[in-house]
């Protein structure tokens, strides 16, 4: 079981009893703004939860999609680190609307960067997001990531094309700001 506790939040493996809160936070139209129709479907939350729980049982484990939990016990969202190839991990974060603009996303992604570089020893962590998702891009930049590239019009959903931006941070760049 993985559990990362910070002053502000707890990151822990998902459990089936998170389902109703996870469904509720994913069902908000603004939350779904940059998600495809398929990713926004009501049954998607249950499918994802099943995937996250199976990934948590894999050995060796490569995918850590964790529940972000408030001190009150409320589920705030999900934040994940996935080893995609040796030394390279992707990161992603999604929070319920009431937790946007609270610093929670920053606490969760900061904690997962530390987990990736220190505990898993990865060399590079990257994020891919729809280029119009300014909140996600700002979040990645706030934790030290830089834009690496953009794939123009590489996705198609909601009746139009979308571009994808990749941001990343290398271990040496992260260590320069985390000398301990
Ligand atoms: C991505 C996410 C976790 C970021 O959470 P957050 O950091 O709390 O986001 P905020 O709403 O506080 O926005 C972060 C920053 O982006 C800015 N921003 C938000 N929307 C913006 C827009 N349309 N244009 C310009 N800036 C925007 C905010 O002003 C804020 O800037 P600041 O830090 O200088 O104040 C959250 O937006 C989310 O869960 N979204 C839904 C799921 C999602 O799209 N996840 C990303 C998948 S790749």
The domain total for the chain is: 1
CA 25 – CA 40 distance, rounded (Å): 11
Q: In what order do the strands lie in the sheet with 75-85?
A: 3-5, 10-13, 63-69, 75-85, 88-95, 124-130, 160-170, 146-157
CA 67 – CA 95 distance, rounded (Å): 10
CA 62 – CA 163 distance, rounded (Å): 27
Mean predicted confidence (pLDDT) in 90-113: 97
Mean predicted confidence (pLDDT) in 46-61: 97
Return all residues near 81 (Cβ < 8 A) that are at least 6 apart: 63, 64, 89, 90, 91, 112, 115, 116, 120, 125
CB 68 near ligand 1, within 6 Å = no
- Which range of residues forms the domain containing residue 65? 3-176
> 70: domain CATH number?
3.40.630.30
According to DSSP, the residues that pair with 46 across neighbouring strands are none
Token pair of 40 as six digits: 């926004």
Query: For residue 3, which phi and psi values (nearest 5 degrees)?
Result: -150, 125
Atom of ligand 1 nearest to the CA of 77: 39
**Among all chains, which residue has been given the structure tokens 């502000």?**
8
Question: How many CB atoms lie under 10 A from the CB of residue 83?
Answer: 18
pLDDT in tens, 63-72: 999 999 999 9
CB 139 near ligand 1, within 6 Å = yes
Cα-to-centroid distance, 76 and ligand 1 (Å): 15
CB 97 near ligand 1, within 6 Å = no
CB 34 near ligand 1, within 6 Å = yes
As a whole number of Å, the end-to-end CA separation of the chain is 26
- Cβ distance 34 to 44 under 8 Å? no
Minimal-distance CA residue to ligand 1 atom 18: 135
Q: Please determine, for residue 180, whether its predicted confidence score (pLDDT) is greater than 80.
A: no
Minimal-distance CA residue to ligand 1 atom 22: 134
Q: Output the average pLDDT for the chain.
A: 96
CB 105 near ligand 1, within 6 Å = yes
Which 3 state secondary structure label does DSSP give 55? helix
- Cβ distance 68 to 103 under 8 Å? no
CB 133 near ligand 1, within 6 Å = yes
Q: Please determine, for residue 94, whether its predicted confidence score (pLDDT) is greater than 90.
A: yes
Residue 1: pLDDT band (50, 70, 90) is: confident
Mean predicted confidence (pLDDT) in 35-51: 95
């Amino acid at each position: 079981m993985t559990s990362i506790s910070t002053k502000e939040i707890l990151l822990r493996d998902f459990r089936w009893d998170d389902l109703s809160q996870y469904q509720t936070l994913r069902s908000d139209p603004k939350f779904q703004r940059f998600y495809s129709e398929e990713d926004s479907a009501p049954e998607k939350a249950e499918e994802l939860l099943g995937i996250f729980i199976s990934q948590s049982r894999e050995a060796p484990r490569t995918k850590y999609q964790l529940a972000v939990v408030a001190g009150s016990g409320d589920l705030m969202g999900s934040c994940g680190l996935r080893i995609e190839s040796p030394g390279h991990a992707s990161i992603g974060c999604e929070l319920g609307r009431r937790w946007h603009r609270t610093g929670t996303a920053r606490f969760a992604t900061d904690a997962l960067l530390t987990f990736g570089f220190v505990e898993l020893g990865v060399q590079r962590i990257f994020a891919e997001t729809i280029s119009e998702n300014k909140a996600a891009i700002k979040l990645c930049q706030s934790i030290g990531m830089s834009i690496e590239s953009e794939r123009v019009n590489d996705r198609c959903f909601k009746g139009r094309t979308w571009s994808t931006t990749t941001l990343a941070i290398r271990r040496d760049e992260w260590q320069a700001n985390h000398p301990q």
